[in-house]
């Protein structure tokens, strides 16, 4: 990816939230960043689906079912964002030449604008995989953020780094449970093409340096069938 009507009637943005989410991390004490993902102007079908993919990426601290109306302007979203503790906007738009993504810090900026050169939808990626991984609790916690290639010293890259580092909640490496880390967002800057690859992965914790049989045993927590083995060591070594 990427580079970065007013109406007589007052617009209204309606969002549905099942329960009130905490505004402060109970471990780190830091304010939890929250986001709105919405569009500016009319979007074609694939970009509408990309908008929903971005909302899922930003879960759980975003309004997944944010309702948009044609008469909504940016001020309407700002009026709702304050009381709800929303700190960031992700806005998709489409011009005659290309689609764009704007990432803004509310209420006073800054705003980064990215031109979208190409993209893949989550459903297309899943269909290309033999066994796509999507457990029920995949979006229960925020993804980890990894930035690569941004250490060139350029001011606009520093600003991009700060923006994306603060768009997700910080983690405490001393208290975090690795089993809850199930997603990762990777941003890789290519200094030759001056493009940013924006990728969203599902990950899982698994033992390394052991046999496939032992790894499956550790992950499943089920008693293995040892009837065909002469000794328990055969299970570990084979």
CATH classification of the domain holding 182: 3.40.50.10480
229 part of a folded domain:
no
145 lies in which domain range?
Answer: 35-202
The secondary structure of residue 139, as a DSSP letter, is: T
18 part of a folded domain:
no
| Helix-then-strand count for the chain, H and E | 6, 7
Residue 206 and residue 219 in contact, taking contact as beta carbons nearer than 8 Å = yes
Summarize pLDDT for 162-202 with one digit per residue, the tens. Answer: 999 999 998 888 888 888 899 999 999 999 999 999 999 99
More confident residue, 144 or 221: 144
Q: How far apart are CA 30 and CA 168, in angstroms?
A: 11
Paired strand residues for 105: 88
The secondary structure of residue 179, as a DSSP letter, is: G
Percent of the chain with pLDDT over 90: 58
Residue 20: predicted pLDDT: 59
Q: How far is CA 199 from the centre of its chain?
A: 9
Helix (H) or strand (E) holding 198: strand 195-202
The answer to whether the peptide bond before residue 110 is cis (omega within 30 degrees of 0) is yes
Q: How far apart are CA 70 and CA 76, in angstroms?
A: 12
Q: How far apart are CA 35 and CA 87, in angstroms?
A: 6
Residue 145 and residue 164 in contact, taking contact as beta carbons nearer than 8 Å = yes
Backbone φ and ψ of 46, nearest 5°: -60, -40
Q: How far apart are CA 169 and CA 28, in angstroms?
A: 10
**Token code pair at residue 9:** 């009637």
110 part of a folded domain:
yes
**Token code pair at residue 4:** 């970065």
pTM of the predicted structure, to 2 decimals: 0.78
24 part of a folded domain:
no
pLDDT at 96 over 70: yes
More confident residue, 54 or 233: 54
Domain count, the chain: 1
28 part of a folded domain:
no
156 part of a folded domain:
yes
Paired strand residues for 97: none
Summarize pLDDT for 52-91 with one digit per residue, the tens. Answer: 999 999 999 999 999 988 888 999 999 999 999 999 999 9
Backbone φ and ψ of 169, nearest 5°: -60, 145
Unique residue bearing structure tokens 């503790």? 85
157 part of a folded domain:
yes
57 part of a folded domain:
yes
């Amino acid at each position: 990816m990427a580079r970065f009507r007013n109406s007589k009637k007052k617009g209204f943005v309606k969002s549905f939230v099942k329960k009130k989410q905490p505004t402060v991390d109970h471990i780190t004490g830091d304010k939890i960043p929250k986001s709105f993902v919405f569009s500016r102007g009319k979007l074609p079908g694939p970009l509408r689906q990309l908008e929903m993919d971005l909302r899922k990426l930003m879960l759980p601290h975003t309004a997944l079912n944010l309702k948009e109306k044609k008469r909504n302007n940016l001020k309407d979203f700002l009026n709702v964002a304050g009381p709800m503790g929303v700190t960031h906007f992700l806005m998709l738009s489409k011009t005659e030449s290309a689609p764009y993504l704007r990432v803004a810090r509310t209420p006073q900026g800054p705003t980064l604008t990215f031109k979208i050169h190409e993209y893949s939808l989550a459903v297309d990626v899943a269909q290309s995989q033999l066994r796509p991984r999507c457990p029920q609790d995949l979006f229960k916690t925020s993804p980890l953020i990894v930035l690569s290639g941004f250490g060139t010293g350029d001011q606009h890259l520093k600003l991009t780094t700060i923006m994306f580092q603060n768009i997700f909640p910080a983690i405490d490496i001393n208290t975090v449970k690795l089993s809850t880390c199930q997603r990762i967002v990777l941003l890789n800057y290519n200094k030759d093409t001056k493009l940013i690859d924006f990728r969203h992965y599902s990950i899982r914790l698994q033992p390394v340096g052991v046999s496939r049989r032992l790894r499956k045993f550790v992950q499943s927590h089920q008693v293995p069938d040892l009837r065909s083995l002469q000794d328990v060591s055969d299970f570990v070594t084979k």
